[in-house]
Structure formats: C-alpha cells, structure tokens
C-alpha cells in the first residue's frame, strides 16, 4: 500500500511523495488527532482536495495528549497510526500538534515507507514564511511547548528567528465547549497573549499551534493586533499535502468523503463535530474503535 520508492516523512525531512499505482491513489488519506480538534485539518483538506476520501481517527479514549508525557503520547500515536495503516491509507496526517511534536519520528520508524505529514512541520514552514521580523509567537498545548518542536522546526528554516512558545490549555477547553468568541474567550486570550503583543513588542506572527485554536482565530487575531499574521496549521498542512499528493490524486470524478472513527464516546464526537464544524454537515455516523 505504500510507495516502494523514496521513504518519505515530510515532518522529519521534507521531500516529495512517490506514489505510483492506481490502487494507492484510490486509498483514503488517514488523519488522526487526540480528539475533535484535528477536524480543522480535515475540513481544510476537504476544501483543497474534494475528491479525496478521508479516514479520520479521534483518540477520545486517551485525550488530551497535550498534558501527557512524550513516552505516553508516542505510544498512543503509534497505535493510532497502526490502526489507520491496517485500514489502508495512502498517506498519514498527524493532525495533533502534541503528537506531531513528540511522536512523528517514532511513527516514521514504524512505517518507513508511509508518506507522513505532521501539523508542526506545516505550521513551522508557514511561520517561517509569514514573519518579517523573525519574532514568532506559538500558542500551543503544554506538551507541544515543552517539546521544543516549533523552536527546532522554525530554526531549521530561519536560524535567526526568535520563537516564544506559550502554553494555552484553556483555549482547548473553550473551543470544545463551543465558546469561540465573546468576553470569556477575550479575557482568556488577553491573559495568555496580552503580554506578548503589547506596545513595543516585535512579534509579527502568531502560530495557532493546536488544531483547536483556528476556531478562536477571530478573537486571537484581535488580541494580537492588526500587524500580526496568524498562521493556521490546518491550512498550512492542507497546502503542503496538496502539493505532496499532486502526483497521486484520487481517481477523477470522485466526490470524496469523510469517515469518522472515535476510540470512545462516538455520540459526543458526533455532537461536537456537528457544532464546531458546520462545513461537515450534520455528523450522523461515527464508528467506534477499541485500540
């Protein structure tokens, strides 16, 4: 099911996908996240590549990853990858910043021929391109910040850049609660980001370094201020994936689709997905998988 050509891990070392047969091309793109947040990535991919079928796994039984240790997140992430690979996928998107930050290499070692893309790599590439001053703020989970993954990934592209990673765990709870704007979100955003974007601050780029955060983008953009560019990892990932899969598109005429799988609480998953992602339409069916 994988290419036998160049082993490929966009997350670790960007190269091009090499995928050659029609069977592979017709397989779905696998996506996983600890929960519903990664659907921001699925929505962006659907928009960019409407003919592709997406197989989305939300590891609700073990979420959140953002507060767990690297070893535990890696174990969970490799299990999720194994599940999707066993179902048959042509590429895997790790749509969870924490898992991308700590587990991408382990997944690449486990599946050396699997085209693999993590949101951290995509977000870092986006930030490196978007920032003029090189002063970049990354809003992320505790786990992502602690890993130093954004600093490393941005540093590879802009060694002179100054990266400040700020843990914003409440943003996750707010987004899942459906509180995406209004005074509560505003005051929490000011609490985390206010000190970094005040008068005289040099930062000109804010990376939404958790898949939930694009849901809060209007408020975060307002708090950061008009001169600051927001980098949405979901959009950045979708753009990189579209380029990488250009040589291996879904069969012409396909209308694509989205299969949702949860490791727990499929009803809750469907409810939150429907509320947070109107672009998906009402989510009627979520498969339950016990990893």
- Rounded CA-CA distance 103/94 in Å is 9
- Rounded CA-CA distance 46/56 in Å is 12
Write down the least CB distance from residue 287 to its own copies, Å. Answer: 14
Is 205 in the active site?
no
Residue 178 makes contact with its own copies by CB under 8 A:
no
Q: How far is CA 152 from CA 63, 102, 162, 163, in A?
A: 25, 12, 11, 9
Residue 183 makes contact with its own copies by CB under 8 A:
yes
Q: Which of 95, 117, 179, 245 binds its own copies (CB under 8 A)?
A: 179
State the number of binding residues for its own copies (CB under 8 A). 26
Is 210 in the active site?
yes
* Closer to its own copies by Cβ: residue 75 or 135: 75
Residue 13 CB neighbours (<10 A) = 11
- Rounded CA-CA distance 124/151 in Å is 8
Q: Dihedral sign for Cα 276, 279, 283, 287, please.
A: negative
Residue 60 makes contact with its own copies by CB under 8 A:
yes
What DSSP character marks residue 276?
A: H
Q: Which of 6, 13, 129, 173 binds its own copies (CB under 8 A)?
A: 173
Write down the least CB distance from residue 77 to its own copies, Å. Answer: 14
Q: Which residues bind its own copies (CB under 8 A)?
A: 60-64, 67-69, 72, 142, 169-170, 172-174, 176-177, 179, 183-184, 187-188, 191, 264-265, 268
Catalytic positions are: 96, 210
């Amino acid at each position: 099911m994988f290419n036998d050509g160049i082993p490929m891990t966009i997350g670790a070392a960007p190269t091009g996908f090499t995928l050659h047969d029609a069977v592979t091309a017709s397989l779905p793109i696998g996506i996983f996240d600890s929960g519903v947040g990664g659907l921001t990535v699925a929505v962006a991919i659907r928009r960019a590549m409407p003919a592709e079928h997406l197989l989305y796994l939300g590891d609700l039984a073990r979420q959140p990853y953002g507060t767990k240790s690297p070893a535990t997140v890696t174990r969970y992430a490799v299990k999720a990858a194994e599940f999707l690979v066993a179902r048959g996928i042509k590429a895997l998107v790790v749509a969870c910043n924490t898992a991308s930050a700590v587990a991408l290499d382990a997944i690449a070692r486990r599946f050396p021929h699997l085209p693999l893309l993590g949101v951290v790599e995509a977000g870092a590439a986006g930030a490196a391109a978007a920032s003029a001053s090189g002063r970049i703020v990354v809003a992320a989970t505790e786990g992502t910040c602690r890993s130093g993954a954004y600093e490393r990934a941005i540093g590879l592209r802009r060694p002179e850049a100054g990266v400040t990673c700020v843990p914003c765990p409440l943003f996750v709870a707010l987004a899942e609660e459906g509180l995406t704007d209004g005074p509560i979100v505003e005051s929490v955003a000011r609490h985390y980001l206010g000190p970094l974007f005040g008068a005289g601050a040099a930062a000109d780029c804010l990376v939404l370094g958790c898949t939930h955060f694009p849901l809060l983008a209007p408020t975060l953009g307002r708090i950061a201020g008009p001169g600051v560019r927001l980098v949405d990892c979901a959009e950045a990932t979708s753009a990189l994936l579209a380029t990488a899969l250009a040589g291996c598109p879904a069969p012409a005429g396909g209308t694509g689709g989205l299969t949702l799988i949860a490791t727990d609480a499929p009803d809750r998953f469907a409810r939150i997905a429907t509320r947070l992602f109107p672009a998906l339409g009402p989510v009627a069916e979520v498969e339950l998988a016990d990893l």
